[in-house]
Structure 1
Amino acid sequence: MYSELQRKEELEADRGTVHFTVLGPLEVLRQGVDYAPSAPKILSLLAVLVMRPGKMVHIDTLIRELWSDHPPRTVRTTLHTYVYHLRRCIDQNKLAADGEEMLATKHTGYTFNIDPSQVDTHRFVRLQQAGQERQEAGDHAGAADAFRDALDVWTGPPFANVHCGPVLSAYRTELLEQRRSVLHMRIEAEIVSGRHRELIGELRSLTTGSPLDEALHGQLMRALGRSGRRSDAMAVYRRLRSRLAGELGVEPCDDLQLLHRELISEGDHR
């Protein structure tokens, strides 16, 4: 599915369609060339507009993002100047037939008139949904492939080249949580489809980077258990339990405790 989507977008790129990436550095791409503005405030303005493609963004939202709680006395005039420079960037680089039409002024804000499919988040969500549909249909290997393709859309932290204020920071956190969810779903689909042995190295690396992530530790325990490495799986549990108790003063979640008991039970029946 992803390859078909990729081919379609490559054809659009050949015709000069502009694409926006936010799952990594914010880029404005046409035929492989990045036309994103370099000025930090204008880049932040563009980021908030791209966050809501085709929808009106209230002027107060833009002010809060660009200046937080300390806007200048001439804030609206300054914002209008930034909008002017962004439109000029659009016109000079021929990113649209008309900069004022692409970045339209509304009574209480601005609308960036692009299609959601021009933003890489749209591709990510579509592939995530495709993976979930395949998972529900029992095609776990196909689901894992779709989830993997969704994760491959990412090239780095969201808005990696943008100074994020309160609005973009909240959205960035939301995107990172979505990525984390897709990562867990991909690993789960891989385990169920029988690729557990191939996952062990990756899961050890992920749990090292996220030492308190109980879901990842549970998946590592299951991958080890299915690979005939029950003692290693139980060692993972003991280390996590010790860390949770030492740093947070809590026990592992119910699902992990149940998994641990199942591993013990399997050993008793051998």
Structure 2
Amino acid sequence: MQIKLLGPFIAQKGHHPLLPSAAKPRQVLALLAIRAGGVVTVPTLMEEIWGDRPPRSAPTTLQTYILKLRRLLERALAQGVDALHSSVDHHTGRTAPQGAKGVLVTRYGGYQLDVDPCTVDTQVFERLQSRGQKAFNDGDFATAATLLGQALALWRGPALVDVKTGPVLDMDVLRLEEARLAALESRITADLCLGRHGQVLSELAVLVAQHPLHEGLHAQFMTAQYASGRGWQAFETYRRLHTALRTELGIEPGARIQELYASMLAGGAPPAVTPPDHPGPRAVLWSAV
């Protein structure tokens, strides 16, 4: 089975789709998939579907959705033995195929989607991001850039872009989007530390347009511009950020990016740039200039 949540929702075994056409069962499957391997409680599922006002029929209706999902799984599993959904027979040491109830498992108080973590793109992303961030923190920028690039390549658009989401999934999607942005910042900083200033210019131009108030991305863009011999463009980037922050939020840019701008104006090598909330090896950013 393959489950992809980082973009349009895809769940399939081979070429056999597992997504229900109805919106609410899709919602249930999405929540179970985004938390695959863990138990999702019945109250959490009900909150996702109906918010804080579930109807009296909610428990029965939820059971109906689970039944529909299991029927889809059963049809898919009937296409052949899926080694990714198998359990170990502790008497023989061999694997034995599971039915739908062994994949979408009833647990005390809730349900669990029991699948191999390697088949869920969110879990692959988080594993690659963790390894990439560790390499970054250790100062191994080449490995960090590679691993974080692989993690980011799993994204095909906004997470669960084609699924109607409720309050629970909204929080999970927000968490994933924030993790994506953090991975992107770290990967770009690793590239800058490797002297790849020109290679990230066009990417950063798009990112600062998408995030006009994000100081970390603007600092990276200014760094890449200045190191590429485009000092005047770096000044313009700062001025646009300054105007946006004052207009939208009524605040001045932070001390870190102000120091960066002042150093560029002075015509010397700017001080180390460390994007907000990310201490450590980012301090060597300007060593690549």
2:51 and 2:254 mapped to 1: Cα distance?
38
Q: How big is the shift at 1:114?
A: 1.7
Residue aligned with 1:93, SS: helix
Q: Does 1:249 align with 2:232?
A: no
How many matched pairs?
A: 252
Corresponding residue number in structure 2 for 1:229: 230
Q: How big is the shift at 1:101?
A: 2.0
Corresponding residue number in structure 1 for 2:261: 260
Q: How big is the shift at 1:267?
A: 5.5
Corresponding residue number in structure 2 for 1:56: 39
Corresponding residue number in structure 2 for 1:31: 14
1:248 and 1:65 mapped to 2: Cα distance?
32
Q: How big is the shift at 1:31?
A: 2.6
TM-score (norm 2): 0.82
Letter in 1 for 2:189: E
Q: Does 1:69 align with 2:45?
A: no
Alpha-carbon contact 2:34-2:122 (below 8 Å) kept: no
2:172 and 2:42 mapped to 1: Cα distance?
17
Corresponding residue number in structure 1 for 2:70: 87
Q: How big is the shift at 1:138?
A: 3.0
Letter in 1 for 2:33: V
Letter in 1 for 2:54: P
Distance 1:132 1:32, change over 3 A: farther
Alignment of 1:20-169 (within 5 A): 20-94=3-77, 97-169=98-170
Q: How big is the shift at 1:144?
A: 1.3
Residue aligned with 1:201, SS: helix
Letter in 2 for 1:60: P
Residue aligned with 2:267, SS: helix
- 1:100-155 CA-to-partner distances (Å, cap 9, x unmatched) read 22222233111222232321112111221232233234332332122111110011
Q: Aligned-residue CA RMSD in angstroms?
A: 1.9
- 1:57-86 CA-to-partner distances (Å, cap 9, x unmatched) read 111001001111232221111111111111
Alpha-carbon contact 2:213-2:245 (below 8 Å) kept: yes
- 1:160-195 CA-to-partner distances (Å, cap 9, x unmatched) read 221100000010000000001011111111111011
1:188 and 1:264 mapped to 2: Cα distance?
22
Residue aligned with 1:164, SS: coil
Corresponding residue number in structure 2 for 1:210: 211
Corresponding residue number in structure 2 for 1:178: 179
1:136 and 1:267 mapped to 2: Cα distance?
27
Letter in 2 for 1:156: G
Of Structure 1 and Structure 2, which has the larger fraction of its residues in helix?
1
Corresponding residue number in structure 1 for 2:281: none
Letter in 2 for 1:226: A
Show structure 1 runs of 5+ residues with no match. 1-17
Alpha-carbon contact 2:70-2:100 (below 8 Å) kept: yes
Q: How big is the shift at 1:37?
A: 1.7
Q: How big is the shift at 1:240?
A: 1.2
Distance 1:154 1:33, change over 3 A: farther
Distance 1:126 1:19, change over 3 A: same
Q: How big is the shift at 1:212?
A: 1.1
2:135 and 2:107 mapped to 1: Cα distance?
42
- 1:30-55 CA-to-partner distances (Å, cap 9, x unmatched) read 23543222211111111111122222
1:255 and 1:32 mapped to 2: Cα distance?
51
Alpha-carbon contact 2:39-2:111 (below 8 Å) kept: yes
Distance 1:202 1:55, change over 3 A: closer
